[in-house]
Chains A and B, each alone.
Chain A
Amino acid sequence: MAEREVEVPVVCRFLRTKHSFGTFEGELVPWQAGLSTTACYWCLKTMETAGPDDGLVHAHRCREGRSCFEGPSA
């Protein structure tokens, strides 16, 4: 019974949302895709809804290319 493969977008390791603390099992979209309209996000660097660059914290935005982005730890 192999787990179904779901592509998980890479978001900044300092991004958090309540969704990361609970999951739908199965094929539903992972929280990192940022499709939930009820999710609130915060940055562990600032503990606020703005990141270190003063921009909005969101799964759509806390991705590679943003100046304060940090990838998953090795």
Chain B
Amino acid sequence: MSDEKKIRLPSGIAGAGLGDVERTVPSDEPPPLAPNAKLAVLGRPTPRIDGRAKVTGAARYTADVRLPGMLFARMVRSPLPHAKVASIDTAAAEAHPGVRAVHVIEKLLGSAVLRDPSKEIPSKLPIVRYAGQPVAAVAAATPDAADEAARLVKVVYEALPFVVDLEDARKADAPQVFPAPADQAGTAGGGGGPRGVPQVGNVHGPVKKGFMGPPKGDVKQGLADADVKVEAEFRTQVQTHSALETHGVVADWRADGLTVYASTQGTGSVKDELAEIFSLPKSRVRVVTEFMGAGFGAKFGAGNYGVVAAHLSKKAGAPVRLMLDRREEHVAVGNRPSSVQKIAIGAKKDGTLTAISLEAYGTAGTGTGAGCGGPAQNMYACPNILTEESDVFTNAGPAAAFRAPGHPQGCFALEQAIDELAEKLGQDPLALRDKIDVSQGKMDASAARREERRQGAERVGWKDRRHAPGADPGPVKRGIGVAQSVWYRITNLDSACEVRVTRDGSVEVLSAVQDIGGGIRTALAQVVAEELGLAAAQVTVRIGDTAFPAGPSSGGSMTTGSITPAARNAAWRLKQKLSDGAPPGTSFRDACRRLKTEEIAERASRTPEYGGDPKARAGAEALGGVQFAEVAVDTETGVIKVERVVAAHDCGRPFESFPALAAAAAQSATPQIRNMATVGGNLLQRPRCWYFRSEDFVCRKKGGTQCYAQDGENQYHAIFGNDLCAIVHPSSLATALVAYEARLRLVSAGGKERDVALEDFLTRPENDVTRENDLAKGELLRSINVGVSQKARSAYLRQGEKESFDWPLAEVAVVLDLKDGKCVHASVVLGAAGPVPWRAKAAEKVLLGSAVDDAAARKAAKAALEGATPLAKNGYKLAIFEALVRRAILAAAAG
């Protein structure tokens, strides 16, 4: 065909067998992109073009949108997990002076009946199937008025039996989440859905087909043929999403159409759904996502909140803001399903796999999506593979996609089973994977993983660091492990870009694609700048608005791969237009000046992959990743530390190089420490207790009558002196300074000075539960003097969940003065232990007058915990403190 041409494209892995392939492409296709080394912008350090806007707060996220006359909405949610809504009385809410609209979520089709009427739950309003399901909403002039009005909506529920436990839900007599008859799958679809997907009770499945692979072969036979078998069960828990910005919208219903500002991963998907629901032409629905605070798969479509906000806006005749709160985020808008995976793997003595069998079930609440068989189906070459995946319905919020749906769970089980197989075979886990992770034809990432294993092993020091379990001397044992993954190349052909150039040399890129934090703005600027010979900062990128050409949704790792080819095609065609008739060597700026019109523009879409084989298209490919981790376990305290991680992943063509990332990381933290913090502020800071910090709890420290931590979430609270208030003093500096017997000099507003020991200045709750120190009104902390002698030896040790930027779980400061080998002075102070830095007098007594050796340190460490009164969830601190005190004493003694 004359409108096509043949080109050769690079294919393979750079540095490990890069070849090329021939492809037939449209005649106006740009030439293949040169390697990064020959490019000026792509692959170079490029600051995020929206970085300044984001760090200065100028970037407008959905949560920041404020429109004139905007109302605030609040959902009314069911407190019951399974119920029929008998009635909803909105009269009191409507009478609230701040309220402008009330919306009851109604069944849209009232006349529908189930095929088996005896199973139907007759109800005018939707049946509630999980606690947190929305039933109504209000819009009011202020957030407080909306909260008040929501509480005035009177809902009468008729409770129904419910089940929330995965194993209970599988039982034959479990309450039914859906009244649908067990045989509905066989009759649904006017001829039935795919056979072999039954539903019995709450169990939907098993599905035995992979959507692009097994079942294949005969697993029973494969297991029978095996020399070695591994059988194991693995479980993963439900995991909720927690994007920094919650789900939410501002909906603005006008006579000429609906505009919705949405925190979404797919502006197009929100537009599509709202147009369908409200029977509007898509041209009358505009969705804007200038900036959004992340999404991990759960932010697709309009959501209940989006539809409700649009209804409220229509009723009230004003824009309506409905952002979910953090609780709603966890209960109602998606989670990663749990999994229980029974896996059996058979292999020959040399490691060759003979069978992979996976029987898995999990709960996606009221939804589906708990499958996790992808890795078992698609990672290793094996002649016999069978995966059986079931959803178990429970009365809990429905699942949503969550970062490579099903695959983290699947890899968690499969990769541990492969490690167990390696151990049974007496093979190195890496060597075994080299043997079994080999090409299976299509959807094949084995070559990439082979190279990733090679490079990763080299960087993590696999050969040198691997040793027999428990071989480390001392209490800290280390181990190193490897696991790998599979994912797929997904593209979205609804990906278009317009590139405009104006006579003054300005360049604009327009697309509806949204940035979920991955940096697509900068990537688009780079691609267009590369083509036009400009710097990325010279390109203005306008995205996140469905008024622009359609953009891809951001999920499945497809944003950059879908939209940047469209941008490049548009820029390339524009460049042809600019150079048309211009003398060779004409600069971009001069070419713009020669334009006959003020502006020229090109619009291009993502083209399909140009595969050589029509059956195995180039687009249908797998991606691989391999990760290594070295983990240390302190066998005395139980503290686990991940010490080293090496991750090697397919990433396509890197658009940025690492220096920018490194620079950003290096710059991000220091201003807080250098410019904001003071020593005085550190010593005088209020406690971190979450009940104290939460406005919902009026605890003793805030004038209430109760310490909520004592019977609540007290894992980070005090193990000493906690009978009145269970805070721990938040200052690590204070712990060390008390050990040094520091004294403070304070000056009053009238100029009067006083000198006080820090230990006395920091006061216990018994003194005044609302305060943590003795600072008088108008008094200033002028200086701190360290009391102990210069000869004193000291040590400070801490244990936290993170190495930095976190409060410690336990910390110990020890100051010792030794004379003739004997201890003549000892300060042993525990931090994160009590409401003040906790001086362990009993430990000090043990040390005084004795030689400081291992036995004395052990005895003192035990004594340090005398009188401890741990709460229900912080008993774990005792073991940590005992180890830290002993180690700190020995470290101080060693000088």
Contact A63 B369 (CB under 8 A): no
Contact A13 B611 (CB under 8 A): no
Give Cα distance in the complex from A68 to B489, angstroms.
35
B834 touches A (CB below 8 Å):
no
B37 touches A (CB below 8 Å):
no
B628 → chain A closest CB, angstroms: 26
Contact A48 B366 (CB under 8 A): yes
Give Cα distance in the complex from A39 to B555, angstroms.
13
Contact of B114 among A38, A65, A67 (CB under 8 A): A67
B303 touches A (CB below 8 Å):
yes
The residue on B at minimum CB distance from A30 is B211
Contact A37 B389 (CB under 8 A): yes
B400 touches A (CB below 8 Å):
yes
B79 touches A (CB below 8 Å):
no
Give Cα distance in the complex from A52 to B615, angstroms.
40
Contact B194 A35 (CB under 8 A): yes
A12 → chain B closest CB, angstroms: 10
B248 touches A (CB below 8 Å):
no
The residue on B at minimum CB distance from A54 is B127
Task: Give the tally of cross-chain contacts (CB within 8 A).
Answer: 217
B488 touches A (CB below 8 Å):
yes
Q: Which residues of B contact A13 (CB under 8 A)?
A: 276
| Stretch of B104-112, B222-230, B650-658 with 4 or more beta carbons under 8 angstroms from chain A | B104-112
Q: Which residues of A contact B608 (CB under 8 A)?
A: 1, 3, 25
Give Cα distance in the complex from A63 to B400, angstroms.
22
Contact B307 A22 (CB under 8 A): no
Contact B24 A1 (CB under 8 A): yes
Q: Which residues of A contact B109 (CB under 8 A)?
A: 45, 52-53, 68
The residue on A at minimum CB distance from B391 is A37
Q: Secondary structure of the A side of the interface?
A: loop
Give Cα distance in the complex from A36 to B492, angstroms.
18
The residue on B at minimum CB distance from A45 is B108
Contact A28 B185 (CB under 8 A): no
The residue on A at minimum CB distance from B608 is A25
B271 → chain A closest CB, angstroms: 12
Contact B269 A21 (CB under 8 A): yes
Q: Which residues of A contact B552 (CB under 8 A)?
A: 22
B6 → chain A closest CB, angstroms: 12
B539 → chain A closest CB, angstroms: 26
Contact B211 A29 (CB under 8 A): yes
Q: Which residues of A contact B389 (CB under 8 A)?
A: 37
* Max count, chain A CB within 10 A of own CB: residue among B24, B121, B204, B368: B368
**A35-B211 in contact given A50-B129, A67-B112 (Cβ < 8 Å):** yes
Contact A60 B189 (CB under 8 A): yes
Q: Which residues of A contact B616 (CB under 8 A)?
A: 26-27
The residue on B at minimum CB distance from A64 is B190
B460 touches A (CB below 8 Å):
no
**A40-B400 in contact given A23-B490, A24-B490 (Cβ < 8 Å):** yes
Q: Which residues of B contact A29 (CB under 8 A)?
A: 211-212
Contact B553 A34 (CB under 8 A): no
Contact of A61 among B184, B266, B490 (CB under 8 A): B184
Contact of B107 among A44, A46, A63 (CB under 8 A): A46
The residue on A at minimum CB distance from B616 is A26
Q: Which residues of A contact B108 (CB under 8 A)?
A: 45-46, 52
Q: A18-B297, A37-B372 given; name 18 further pairs at CB < 8 Å.
A: A16-B301, A21-B300, A25-B618, A26-B616, A36-B371, A40-B400, A40-B401, A50-B366, A51-B112, A55-B178, A58-B204, A58-B368, A60-B193, A63-B191, A64-B189, A67-B112, A67-B113, A68-B109
A residues with CB within 8 A of B = 1, 3-4, 9, 13-14, 16, 18, 20-29, 33-42, 44-56, 58-68
A-B contact pairs, 29 of them (CB 8 A): A14-B276, A16-B269, A16-B301, A18-B400, A18-B405, A18-B555, A22-B555, A24-B212, A26-B609, A26-B616, A27-B617, A28-B620, A35-B207, A35-B211, A37-B369, A37-B389, A38-B401, A38-B407, A39-B405, A40-B364, A41-B367, A47-B302, A47-B304, A51-B112, A52-B112, A54-B180, A59-B193, A60-B193, A67-B114
7 tightest A-B CB contacts, nearest first: A37-B371, A60-B193, A65-B190, A25-B619, A26-B617, A63-B189, A38-B405
